[in-house]
Amino acid sequence: MGFTRSDVEALSASLNEPDWVLERRLEAWGWFEKMEIPGEKEEPWRYTNLKRLKFKLDDFVPSTQVDVSFGGPDIQLSPDRSGEAHQRGARIRVAPLDMELDSGGVIVTDIHTAIAEHPELVRPNLFGQFNAAGHIFSALHGALFCGGMFIYVPRGKTLTLPVGFDCRIDEPGTAVFPHTLIVTEENSEVCFIERYSSPGLGGSGFSNSAIEVVGGQASRGFVGTIQEYDKGVWHFQNQNLRTARDANFKSLVVTLGGTFSRTETTATIQGEGNSVDLMGIYMAGEGQHFDFRTMQDHAAAHSTSDLLYKGALKGNARTVYSGQIHVRPEGRETDAYQTNRNLVLSDHAMANSKPELEIENNDVRCSHAASVGQMDENEVFYLQSRGIDRVSAERLIVKGFLEDVLGKVGRKDVEGLVSHLLEEKLSV
């Protein structure tokens, strides 16, 4: 078991990819061969020791025989979706796009079909934000990316309904590497929601995914990732946003499942007048370790970013948040904020929080805040005095604490979905 160069070459050959894609894969593989599993001595992994957590890449194998199809009895476009795709291992099913959107120039397909049919849109942007040389997991993803979506929204077009992507691990010991690329032109709008799960897996799994968003001038977008894997799954993800002048984008990361989960979110603000909101909700229970790393990179003037990550921990759970606001010399009149709050529900749970500022311009307003605290017994007592039992009172407090983030989302469909998932997690 494990990963080899021949896996990379076999995957590319099975997809009949052009030479430029294979070159990018092999470049990433070259980085992978030089790297090791990161440890606590590396600052970005300071509070996460994968060796101590007994993670081994050799426990997994990639799915290299890709099967892509469109429509059919097993996938039809849902009435609440602008576009939709399902991935099971390396099997990808894409729903036919609505005729009106198709005729308007909107493209919603899988990443491999996009490479073949729309190279003029994919080639300049694929891996434009994703750094395959970042660490061993990003290098492995760059070499073996398989599945995921491509979404293109032309100038002036608005997708009022979300585009949905559902990825499942359905065989123990397998690895999935979905990669989604979203490109929006001037004054367009898109909402993308992806979900990761492994119902009834009954073993271990490895998930290594990435999203790249290239936001055009005055475009608007929402990108949501919901991770609800079963125990035994190790999840790594990169979420990367690059926004042009006057763009407005929101990112939401919801982490509920898996044995281990690490999400790295980078917002690169390259145009003046940008507004970016980064939001995170997580609930960690017995035997779970969640790690989040964010970057708000202000490379243009008159821009704003606001980050709010909130999590609850119980049992012997561990969570890590580390984030940085970086204002470059050209980032004058930047407003940037970063907040991480943790609610610890057990004497054995532990949350680490490490926000940072790196400011290279004096004309800015930037701040960060972090807290780790226990449940307020006065709040519990107040609810109990109103006839609510203690267990229900604690659930209400936790749900209210986390749903504070949902108030910033601005989409009722997303708020309702996440609220329902939180209810399910709290009832376990």
pLDDT digits (tens, 9 = 90+) for 229-248: 999 999 999 999 999 999 99
Q: CB of 107 within 8 A of CB of 159?
A: no
Residue 226 has pLDDT above 90, yes or no: yes
Residue 251 has pLDDT above 70, yes or no: yes
Q: CB of 360 within 8 A of CB of 328?
A: yes
Beta strands per DSSP E along 244-383: 248-255, 260-269, 275-284, 289-298, 304-313, 318-327, 334-344, 350-359, 364-374
**Number of compact structural domains in the chain:** 2
What burial letters (b/e) apply to 5-33, b meaning 16+ CB within 10 Å?
eebbbebbeebebeeebbebbebbbebbe
Question: 194, exposed or middle or buried, with CB in 10 Å at 0-12, 13-18, 19+?
Answer: buried
Instruction: Give residue 71's pLDDT.
Output: 64
Residue 301 has pLDDT above 70, yes or no: yes
Greater pLDDT, 373 or 185? 185
Q: Round to whole Å and give the CA distance between 372 and 337.
A: 18
| Residue 312 placed within a domain | no
For residues 150-179, give the mean pLDDT. Answer: 95
Residue 1 — pLDDT band, cuts 50, 70, 90? low
Is the Cα dihedral 290, 231, 251, 330 positive or negative? positive
Residue 344 — pLDDT band, cuts 50, 70, 90? very high
Question: Containing domain of residue 384, as a range?
Answer: 379-428
| Residue 105 placed within a domain | yes
For residues 157-164, give the mean pLDDT. Answer: 94
| Residue 289 placed within a domain | no
For residues 38-44, give the mean pLDDT. Answer: 84
Residue 103 has pLDDT above 80, yes or no: no
Greater pLDDT, 265 or 1? 265
Amino acid at 376: D
Residue 78 has pLDDT above 80, yes or no: yes
| Residue 151 placed within a domain | yes
CA distances from 341 to 161, 311, 344, 404 (A): 31, 7, 10, 11
CA distances from 135 to 29, 126, 141, 264, 267 (A): 12, 18, 10, 12, 18
Residues 384 and 260 in one domain: no
For residues 161-186, give the mean pLDDT. Answer: 96
Instruction: Give residue 41's pLDDT.
Output: 79
Provide the pairing of β-strand 83-88 with 91-94: antiparallel
Residues 392 and 259 in one domain: no
Q: Round to whole Å and give the CA distance between 218 and 41.
A: 42
Q: CB of 323 within 8 A of CB of 340?
A: yes
Residue 381 — pLDDT band, cuts 50, 70, 90? confident
Residue 203 has pLDDT above 60, yes or no: yes
Instruction: Give residue 282's pLDDT.
Output: 97
User: Can you say how many angstroms the Cα of residue 86 is from the centroid of all Cα atoms in its chain?
Assistant: 17
Q: CB of 165 within 8 A of CB of 112?
A: no
Ranges 114-128, 218-232, 385-399, 409-423: which has the least confidence: 385-399
Q: Round to whole Å and give the CA distance between 294 and 283.
A: 18
Instruction: Give residue 72's pLDDT.
Output: 66
For residues 87-105, give the mean pLDDT. Answer: 86
| Residue 392 placed within a domain | yes
Grouping H, G, I as helix, E, B as strand and the rest as coil, residue 362 is coil
For residues 379-408, give the mean pLDDT. Answer: 83
Instruction: Give residue 305's pLDDT.
Output: 97
Ranges 256-260, 300-304, 394-398: which has the least confidence: 394-398
* Contacts of 33 by beta carbon, 8 Å cutoff, 6+ apart: none
Instruction: Give residue 73's pLDDT.
Output: 66
CA distances from 248 to 160, 260, 278 (A): 16, 31, 11
User: Can you say how many angstroms the Cα of residue 113 is from the centroid of all Cα atoms in its chain?
Assistant: 22
CA distances from 204 to 110, 235, 281 (A): 26, 11, 24
Residue 257 has pLDDT above 90, yes or no: yes
What burial letters (b/e) apply to 74-87, b meaning 16+ CB within 10 Å?
ebebeeebbbbbbb
For residues 292-307, give the mean pLDDT. Answer: 97
Residue 313 has pLDDT above 60, yes or no: yes
Residues 256 and 396 in one domain: no
Mind listing the pLDDT tens digit for each residue in 45-76? Answer: 999 999 889 999 999 988 756 788 766 666 78
Which domain-ending residue is among 254, 270, 286? 270
Which domain-ending residue is among 205, 236, 270? 270
| Percent above pLDDT 90 for the chain | 80
Which domain-ending residue is among 270, 300, 315? 270
Mind listing the pLDDT tens digit for each residue in 285-297? Answer: 999 999 999 999 9
Residues in the chain: 428
Average model confidence (pLDDT) for the chain?
93
Residue 314 — pLDDT band, cuts 50, 70, 90? very high
| Residue 110 placed within a domain | yes
Instruction: Give residue 369's pLDDT.
Output: 93
Instruction: Give residue 64's pLDDT.
Output: 59
| Residue 347 placed within a domain | no
Q: Round to whole Å and give the CA distance between 325 and 332.
A: 14
**Highest mean predicted confidence (pLDDT) among 98-102, 233-237, 361-365:** 233-237
| Residue 384 placed within a domain | yes
For residues 259-288, give the mean pLDDT. Answer: 96
Instruction: Give residue 193's pLDDT.
Output: 97
